[in-house]
Structure 1
Amino acid sequence: MAVSTQPLMEAFGVQYLDVTLDADMADETFADVERLWYDNGIALFRGQALTETSIIGFCRRLGELEIHVREEYLDPDYPELLQVSNKVEAGREVGILKDKELGWHHDQSYMIEPAIGSMLCAFELPAWGGDTYFANLATAYEALPKNMKLLLEGLCAVHSYEYFNGTWSVPTNEKQSNRTPPVLQPVVRTHPITGRKAIYVDPAMVPLIDGLPEDESRDLLNELFDWIIRPEFVYRHQWQRGDAILWDNASTMHRRDAFDPASTRLMKRTTIRPRPELAVPF
């Protein structure tokens, strides 16, 4: 039986209405869920009885799970899960990124083989704030004027985790920095499964375009950054406890609002690597 769904917004995002997030999902259902995710860029599972094992088990069916470089923020019992939180236990911050605003970015674009997907799951939510926004970069690319598409063809940009941390997070240690040097990625990324092209730069991770004078690089990036966050490309998600959102890092980027620092927000995230045959999807 086909999975029942409803759109999150026109031509972007899907909500599954009758799917339980579980490693033992029937093969036919899983195939529908995976296809709909790729077709829609982001996918919402709402009202889930979230457990670490169900999240990990389901996500492993999509691809290999990456252990995040920030090991100090991993779930101590489930290292496949990065804890995104302002929670403090026994005087220790258990999660990364705390309570402030978080700028537009892709996950793991600073890796030579960037992540294909991520899933973020809501365990505890604050009194206010913490909404997450997703931008459809495939649709944004398709809407570009032809002359801009030609200009972007063949260009590569620098993606730097150090640049991201300088504004939005805490610095990495020496070992972590050595594992995450800046890398070049194409400005336009071709999806390994759908074949759609998407703009693959973002304000938080990308300081420059390779091979262009600094002023030209900055002007072009600013023009692209203004373009890709136009309202028609962006979905705003207001979280409920038990939500799990799966997003496609090849065709979307995301950001987060600040939230009530007096409340606790605890989210757990997987990072999904592409299958080996799709590892360099450009």
Structure 2
Amino acid sequence: MTLDIRQLTPGFGAEVRIDDIARFDEAAFSALRDLWVTHGILLFRDQELSEGAQTALSRRFGELEIHVRTEYLSPDFPEILFVSNMQKANGEPLGILADRDVGWHYDQIYLPKPALGSLIYAVKVPPEGGRTYFADMAAAYEALPDDLKQRIEGRRAVQSYEHFNRSYSVPTSKTQKARTQDVTHPMVRTHPYSKRKSLYICPGMTTEIIGLPETESRDILDRLFEFSVRPEFVYAHDWQAGDGILWDNARTMHRRDPFDGRHPRLMKRTTILMPDALAAPF
């Protein structure tokens, strides 16, 4: 089956023009999954997506994560994480990450079994700000200078959720910390379906390269971070209410601009985990 698409950039991202993403038959879903692997990001405009429909669609791609930050989960569908600056009736934050800038990161890179994908749906958006940027880490890896490729070949790096929280979020509880201990992953991740290689590091959570002196580790990481977010690898998205974006988390890192906290913003995210047979090694 052929879906109606429009390229977002020459080699990364596509808009899928469809009235209701919750109503894919098997043929259409198979085509959608192929597009997802090919393009890395899929954008859907003008959707009316209930939490039940979002969860059901996401589950067709794989097992869903129940995020460690349980205080920000939907009370009806705990597979959904609220990303928001709004407050609950009792005055507590409704969602995670509020209105500040959020640096480059891969979702769930800090887990032993990391994420394969994410689907986020925009319910409320501010009139300006909050732009999200997505970086194609497969294209970045393929364009790396040979000396950098050689220096990271076979290397592993430390991924830390606490490092991210210190910069962009609020502290986790003792129980949450115990569930999100630092892990190591290969710095180059082979995609389970396309077999393309991607850089699997990010400024928000990658702290060091195993087996290298601190100064050398820092130098390599800084060079990789700077290289991987060159304009030719990045798609920038300005949100409209009703937008849904499905991205390939084996290939794509992202960040967000700040926005005026006087305006409400509510995004609902599901996270798709790797199938057990493909979870590790990469």
Structure 2 Cα separation of the partners of residues 225 and 61 of structure 1: 33
Determine helix, strand or coil for the equivalent of 1:222: helix
What's 1:89 paired with? Answer: 88
* 2: CA distance, partners of 1:147 / 1:261: 44
Q: Report what 1:56 is aligned to.
A: 55
The runs of 5 or more residues in structure 2 that have no matched partner are none
Q: Give 3-state SS (helix, strand or coil) of 1:12's partner.
A: coil
CA contact (8 A) 1:124 1:241 kept: yes
1:235 counterpart SS class = strand
1:50 to partner: Cα distance: 1.6
Q: What CA deviation, in whole Å up to 9, does each residue of 1:246-276 have, x standing for no partner?
A: 1111111000000111000000000101222
3-state secondary structure, aligned to 1:175: helix
- Residue of structure 2 in register with 1:145 after alignment: 145
Q: Which runs of 4+ in 1 moved over 4 A?
A: none
Q: Which residue of 1 aligns with 2:8?
A: 8
In the superposition, the TM-score normalised over structure 2's length comes to 0.98
Is residue 40–residue 252 contact of structure 2 (8 Å, CA) maintained in 1?
Answer: yes
2:47 maps to amino acid = Q
Q: Which residue of 1 aligns with 2:30?
A: 31
Q: Please name the residue that 1:101 is paired with.
A: 101
- Which whole-Å CA distance do the structure 2 matches of 1:277 and 1:43 have between them? 25
After TM superposition, give the deviation of residue 207 of structure 1 in Å.
Answer: 1.1
Contact 1:192 1:281 in 2 (8 A): no
5 Å-filtered alignment, 1:216-231, equals 216-231=216-231
Q: Which amino acid aligns with 2:138?
A: A
Identity, % of aligned pairs? 52
- The match for 2:237 is 237
Match of 1:166 in 2: 166
Equivalent residue, structure 1, for 2:206: 206
Say how many residue pairs are matched: 281
SS in 2 for 1:55: helix
Matched-pair contact (CA < 8 Å) for 1:64–1:273: yes
| CA shift digits 1:19-63 (9 cap, x unpaired) | 5211x4110000000110011111111110121111111000000
1:203: Cα distance to partner?
0.5
Map Cα deviations across residues 86-135 of structure 1 (whole Å, 9 max, x no partner). 00122111100000000000000000010000111100011210110000
For the residue of structure 1 that corresponds to 2:270, the secondary structure is strand
Does structure 1 residue 128 correspond to structure 2 residue 128?
A: yes
Task: Give 1:169-208 correspondences, 5 Å limit.
Answer: 169-208=169-208
Alpha carbons 1:17, 1:45 under 8 Å: kept: yes
How big is each residue's C-alpha offset from its partner over 1:130-169, in whole Å with a ceiling of 9 and x where there is no partner? 1100000000000012222121111110000011101110
- Matching residue of 1:269: 269
- Identify unmatched segments of 5+ residues in structure 1: none
| CA root-mean-square deviation | 0.9
